[in-house]
Amino acid sequence: MLCLVGASATVALLMFALPPHDETLLQWAWLHGAISASMAWATTLPRWWVPILLLFAPAALLALTLEIPPLVWLLAALLPWLVFRGALRDRVPLFLSDQPAIDRLLELVTSEHPVSVVDLGCGTGGLLQALRRARPIARLRGVENAPLTWLIARWRLRDAAVDVAYGSIWDEPLSHHDVVYAYLSPAAMPRLWAKACQEMRPGSLLVSNSFEVPGVPAQHILTLSGTGMATALHVWQMSEDGTASAAHAG
């Protein structure tokens, strides 16, 4: 955003300050692209931002010539927000646990007594639905903050005794869960770990699909056999002093 604003201000200044020539709007747009891309190049932004910023203004100008109704643009902006809200604030997009991950999680959720499991960022509720079928006595809860995804999860689990809450995972108390499952992103892991250490009770399990906690090796790594993106479940068992103990995970 700063690159775009910076380039817009520079181009606007040049447009007013320079004596009128016969530059076209498209030429100004390319200048805008070149400035914002150079700004991205000069900063620590990941390199893939450079082509995006280079093409942004020319693409926007081209889009204007298509005379698409403004409502379509509004919907195009709204829809991703309804599904990918978590990617904006927490850098956690939507991708779903696959069957190998569910099967390995089931190894940690006994069918002998009612284990309490929370899926932090439950997406469209597929994991909770699978747990409900395999472990009917488990107490299940999901938390999700993307409106459309949450609605889908609610609808899918409408007949099941599964609590699907609309809200942020950072407001979810973790103290009364036996298993806390999270499939988030590397960016969220340090904060999740701090929260887990503060709130999770001794003996409970933190299970992270795919993502490690920097500097805190998991006690157990349950590898996944599938061909999907997820490679392993990382498992920590919380100890008395609010950190991970070297105890077995199951």
Ligand X SMILES: C[S@@+](CC[C@H](N)C(=O)[O-])C[C@H]1O[C@@H](n2cnc3c(N)ncnc32)[C@H](O)[C@@H]1O
Which residues lie near ligand X (CB under 6 A)? 85-86, 90, 92, 94-97, 119, 121-123, 126-127, 143-146, 149, 168-170, 183-184
CB of 126 to ligand X, least distance (A): 5
Query: Is the Cβ of residue 11 or residue 169 nearer to ligand X in the bound state?
Result: 169
Q: How far apart are CA 109 and CA 76, in angstroms?
A: 40
Q: Within 10 Å of residue 64's Cβ, how many Cβ atoms?
A: 10
CB of 6 to ligand X, least distance (A): 29
Query: Is the Cβ of residue 32 or residue 195 nearer to ligand X in the bound state?
Result: 195
Query: Is the Cβ of residue 97 or residue 237 nearer to ligand X in the bound state?
Result: 97
CB of 233 to ligand X, least distance (A): 11
Contact between 144 and 150 (Cβ < 8 Å): yes
Query: Is the Cβ of residue 94 or residue 151 nearer to ligand X in the bound state?
Result: 94
CB of 128 to ligand X, least distance (A): 8
Q: How far apart are CA 10 and CA 15, in angstroms?
A: 9
CA dihedral 88, 90, 91, 93 (to 10 degrees): -80
What per-residue string of b and e applies to 67-106 under the rule 16 or more CB within 10 Å gives b?
Answer: eeeeeeeeeeeeeeeebebbbeebebebebbbebbbebbe
Query: Is the Cβ of residue 39 or residue 207 nearer to ligand X in the bound state?
Result: 207
Q: How far apart are CA 133 and CA 222, in angstroms?
A: 22
CB of 92 to ligand X, least distance (A): 4
Q: How far apart are CA 175 and CA 184, in angstroms?
A: 20
